[in-house]
Amino acid sequence: MAKLFTDRFIRYRNMKPFGSFQRAVLWPMNAWRVLVPEQSGSALNIFEEAILGLIKSRCTDVNKIADLLCLSVTLVDYIIQQMVNNGLLTSAMGLTPKGKRKLTEQEELKTSLASGYVFQDIFTGELMPRFVKELQYIDADEYRDGRPAFRRSRGEEQLDSPTLVSHLNAEHALNPPSAYEIIDCIRDHNVAIHNRKLQADEFLDLERMRYDSIEIVDSTPVPVYLWCWLYQKENSGKEWLVTDPTDITPASEWMRNRMSRQLEHQPNLAGTLNQMFGIERKATTDWKAREDEIQESARLELLSEFPGIRHIPLAEKYLLAVIRRTKNIEQNDRVYREDIDSLIGEAQKLVEALFQWVLQKWPAPSAHVRLQGKPKPWLRRDVYQALEIECVPSGLIKKLAGPDTYQVKRALENGQASLKALVSAAALSTCDHQETHPLRKLSKDEIKLIEIMELAELRNPASHASQRKFKKEEALTASETAMHCAKVLSNWV
């Protein structure tokens, strides 16, 4: 008799996927009820609200607004012009009656809350990057040796008997998610909806959520089983996929990763994968060797080709992810867009971690002097030109001078900035380490800063909602750039 986590089963639309193998899976989750602001078509976005609020407070200088909001002047100019066009501002930077009304409505919206749910993985405590307005319960039609079975549709005799994921090795004393975790969860939910609408031809009744005010309603969660499908597409080799439990996207990398991590503790789940790959049921972990081939190959490559990388914080983790994803893309004829975007994203994170380490090892206390005031772009170009760094060709000077001064200063202070700002800050830090800094010793062919800055320019379309579809070759080029940078800089540990 199977011991159940709960008798509450949740299934959203989640149609059976097409493929050579499909099996329903019930995953144990904690559902937390939360309050979020109600949606309204008249709501301002966070930037519009902030800018209108500052203008109402008689702050009308675009440069000062950009400084206060940590945004670029160009973006603030653009938002202001859009609000002028929409009748919220006058051309003289004054609030129109419509603009004043919108600000008042925005304050009222913050006091109007609606309830919904976020799902917490009971094994890790992490939130699934989805938000739902209600829990859609389904009842089991019968129990087979204690395991629930469900009829696919009314009048149909055939039952689905999902693979039941055991909850016995879970952390039972999980803490409630924080407001910051819920906000991140809803942000990811909104990005998934935006991307899905861009990719789908049919009308999708999917609504993005606001998250400017978050509150957990109940002190204890609702234990549930969440329904999803584990499946394999035709002629996909060793590739296996998992559906999005909330049915926003066809496949869920989040759920697949969780299943992969739990396999050694879940003989039923491992047995289901054994069936998928035609392995005898008794060898419940044999299939794992197949999955581990890429992982082990990536680990051995990291240890043999990048011996110093283990001493660079975060870089080892991102490098392993880049190698693994690269191998996966290279070995499959059919590659999904999310895999390509993920590889580009991991490549960017790897290079960011490397340049954060450079700024930690070669700090630059005097570099701030060169950025005093707020030098104009042409003056910033003069600063980088004066450094006379061999690996920085003249064509790269303009790109190094491009990032906002505030971002470069943040990079110098704590490394928390965009990749472009990190590279620019690293170039400035050479002035304090004339004899020891790697950017002083490496040639342009060795460090390849031009390719690194090109990788940085992929950040927005790859990491955020975008209509741009990257090609497999672009992802592999990004991977090559990041791994080359890792190989070169790991020799300077």
Residue 469 in any domain: the answer is yes
pLDDT per position as a tens digit, 378-392: 778 888 888 888 898
One DSSP character per residue, 187-239 reads: HHHHHHHHHHHHH-SS---------SS-EE--SSPEEEEEEEEEEE-TT-TT-
How many independent structural domains does the chain possess?
Answer: 3
Domain boundary pick from 91, 110, 129: 110
Whole-angstrom distance, CA of residue 438 vs CA of residue 146: 64
Quick one: pLDDT at residue 128?
93
Residue 18 in any domain: the answer is yes
Residue 164: count of CB within 10 angstroms of its CB: 22
Q: Rounded to the nearest 5°, which phi and psi values hold at 317?
A: -60, -45
Q: Are residues 132 and 87 in the same domain?
A: no
What percent of the chain is modeled with pLDDT above 90? 27
262 pLDDT more than 80: yes
Domain boundary pick from 110, 130, 149: 110
Q: At which residue do the structure tokens 């396999």 appear?
A: 263
Quick one: pLDDT at residue 289?
56
Q: Are residues 250 and 120 in the same domain?
A: yes
Q: Are residues 221 and 160 in the same domain?
A: yes
- Tell which phi-psi region holds residue 340, choosing left (phi > 0), alpha (psi between -120 and 50) or beta: alpha
Residue 24 in any domain: the answer is yes
Residue 322 in any domain: the answer is yes
Quick one: pLDDT at residue 42?
54
Q: Identify the band that residue 48 occupies on the pLDDT scale cut at 50, 70 and 90.
A: confident
Q: Are residues 28 and 70 in the same domain?
A: no
Q: Are residues 93 and 118 in the same domain?
A: no
Nearest partner of 282 among 291, 270, 292, judged by Cα = 270
Quick one: pLDDT at residue 116?
87
Domain boundary pick from 241, 276, 311: 276
Q: Is 375 helix (H, G, I), strand (E, B) or coil?
A: coil
- 415-426 average pLDDT score: 89
Residue 292 in any domain: the answer is no
- The first and second tokens of residue 62, run together, are 């675009």
Nearest partner of 248 among 291, 301, 199, judged by Cα = 199
Residue 370 near residue 412 (C-beta atoms within 8 A) = no
Residue 236 near residue 22 (C-beta atoms within 8 A) = no
Cα 196 to Cα 17, 139, 223, 472, distances in angstroms: 17, 29, 29, 20
One DSSP character per residue, 350-364 reads: HHHHHHHHHHHHS--
Q: Are residues 354 and 389 in the same domain?
A: yes
Q: Rounded to the nearest 5°, which phi and psi values hold at 31?
A: -100, 120
N-term to C-term CA, the chain: 56
CATH code assigned at 89: 1.10.10
Quick one: pLDDT at residue 311?
87
User: How far is residue 389 CA from its own chain's centroid?
Assistant: 35
Residue 2 in any domain: the answer is no
Q: Identify the band that residue 463 occupies on the pLDDT scale cut at 50, 70 and 90.
A: very low
Query: Of 329 and 41, which is predicted with more confidence?
Result: 329
pLDDT per position as a tens digit, 190-208: 888 877 776 655 445 565 5
Residue 291 in any domain: the answer is no
Quick one: pLDDT at residue 208?
58
Q: Are residues 52 and 171 in the same domain?
A: no
Quick one: pLDDT at residue 283?
45
Q: Which residues contact 199 (CB under 8 A, 6 or more apart)?
A: 337
Q: At which residue do the structure tokens 């990291």 appear?
A: 302
Residue 1 in any domain: the answer is no
Residue 10 near residue 136 (C-beta atoms within 8 A) = yes
Q: At which residue do the structure tokens 């609606």 appear?
A: 114
Residue 465 near residue 249 (C-beta atoms within 8 A) = no
pLDDT per position as a tens digit, 279-338: 544 444 555 555 566 666 677 677 677 878 888 878 988 998 899 888 888 877 677 777
Whole-angstrom distance, CA of residue 247 vs CA of residue 11: 9
Domain residues for 63?
46-110
Q: Are residues 122 and 238 in the same domain?
A: yes
468 pLDDT more than 90: no
Q: Are residues 389 and 344 in the same domain?
A: yes
Residue 53 near residue 88 (C-beta atoms within 8 A) = no
Q: Are residues 147 and 50 in the same domain?
A: no
Four-residue CA torsion sign, 352, 353, 354, 355: positive
Q: Are residues 230 and 308 in the same domain?
A: no
Q: Are residues 259 and 392 in the same domain?
A: no
- The first and second tokens of residue 225, run together, are 């089983």
- Tell which phi-psi region holds residue 415, choosing left (phi > 0), alpha (psi between -120 and 50) or beta: left
Four-point Cα dihedral 460, 406, 314, 453, nearest 10: 50
- Arithmetic mean of pLDDT over the chain: 82
